[in-house]
Chains A and B, each alone.
Chain A
């Protein structure tokens, strides 16, 4: 027999109580694990999304740069428009590798049940979106339309089908389906830029221009040059990431509040269980002290029992966090003002280490007082009340 096997036997004494405490710790560990995985996953996905667009700078009309930039990705109308000739001017700026024009429009369906999002894009845009995979072909004429994967799924359309768009009162030929990007791009109707300008009566107008550079280290100098063009606002893609991260700050604060509550409830549950177990075993501890155990050995036994509960809770919590990651991700998505493409929960070694470390620290803190009390029990406790 060892101190460890003694601790295990003590925990088995009240199986239901021990199990419930382990579950409490597991919930806290799973919450911590999921939130940390989200923190890592969201940043990565956002970074990847911004990188995958291949766009280093966004050019829009003057106004809120965040609004302009996020609308380009997210969809939505900017009341001001760029003139079409700006696209040529942007392309001619030294350091610009390629640039593509966007016209973004949203139209409610006549019955008002939903809003259709349209993306008029120039032929340069696919070069700026290297992660795009289009099944079928590119636009053939003004009647061509490419559907985002989610739109195709909802409308039950495939390449070669026709689609009647009620809000435009027009029928289009589905020439391509954009394969799933797990981002906002999945929810758009894509039209040739000139056709979109015509349907939305914005001939010669653009919502924004996406710019790719030859050399990203030249970003600031190209930005400065672009800003000399009249009525333009230039937003670096990296700035956009930062601003989106600021935008989800509120959601993250909410999640960390939930985490704090989970950790507190779990810690108090653990403290309660260990404290009860200590009170119940006063005479046993007294006897153990009587036969020569030093106070630190009794403390060690109690801390060991606490850490065992924590370790089992951690294993269960991480396993639960991994197993339920899809559901947790779906749930978190409801609260986000902006959802980048890709998985939002991405656990890594760092996340696992933080979860293990923080939960064990919680266990040590919760176990300190009961173990201190147990260590203070006098050997006379065994003889008293005989």
Chain B
């Protein structure tokens, strides 16, 4: 009951011509509330596909996925979008900040598609949480890589998600910035946020509460 993510025998098959690619080959996963899970593995091991399935941006070929006790594996896209909006925050390696929006506007962007009120006030608070007070009106072009990822994290939190998914969040950052961003994740996790991060960086992965190793679409630990 305390699991926020539950995957049972989840399979995802892609087709390339006549070939079947088992990107995720029968995975069981349970992530408890407040957990901080890192998923590590070589390229092509199915990390990103797994994150897509958990993040409700893709649906499994078979198996079941529950997010916050809601079965999402068979939901239509319209309802999946609602789940993504209300329950999940996303952080990507490439930040995806809109270049014409200020830091504050970028943070508030996901709230445009939700029922959240007082978006600007909340966005300011979150920028303060990620240590960017005073940078609200800067455009992404005037921010460093570390600062852009902080804005992206603040943006992922705007709708108060129960789950934060991060796909290589430090992949584009130098060591100091990667350290700072991971520190921020740890701080957020200490406040009760559940985090699943896909990473190649074993040093950082070791600092998470749970490390899962993925190879050829299966957990090998």
A→B interface (CB under 8 Å): 1-3, 6, 9-10, 12-13, 283-284, 287-295, 297, 378-380, 382-383, 386
Contact = CB atoms under 8 A, between A and B. Distances in A.
Contact of A1 (B51, B94, B99, B119): B119
Interface string B169-193: 0000000000000000000000000
Contact of B167 (A283, A289, A386): A386
Given A382-B90, A386-B168, 4 more contacts: A1-B119, A9-B101, A293-B113, A294-B78
B104 to A, nearest CB: 8
A297 B113 contact: yes
A1 B98 contact: no
B185 to A, nearest CB: 18
Contacts of A283: 96
B81 A382 contact: no
B57 A13 contact: no
B52 A291 contact: no
Contacts of B90: 287, 290-291, 382
Interface residues of B, number: 35
Contacts of B219: none
Given A380-B52, A386-B94, A292 B57 contact: no
A302 B81 CA distance: 19
8 contacts: A1-B109, A1-B120, A9-B100, A291-B85, A291-B155, A293-B81, A293-B85, A379-B84
Contact of A291 (B51, B58, B110): B110
Contacts of A290: 55, 57, 84, 90
A292 B58 contact: no
Nearest to A283: B96
Given A292-B159, A380-B57, A383-B51, A287 B96 contact: yes
B113 A294 contact: yes
Interface string B112-131: 11100001100000000000
B84 A1 contact: no
B113 A291 contact: yes
A384 to B, nearest CB: 9
Contact of B82 (A9, A12, A284, A292): A292
B100 A291 contact: no
A287 B77 CA distance: 15
Interface in B43-58: 48, 51-52, 55, 57-58
B194 to A, nearest CB: 17
B36 interface: no
B73 to A, nearest CB: 16
B151 interface: no
Most chain B Cβ neighbours within 10 Å, of A10, A283, A291, A382:
A291
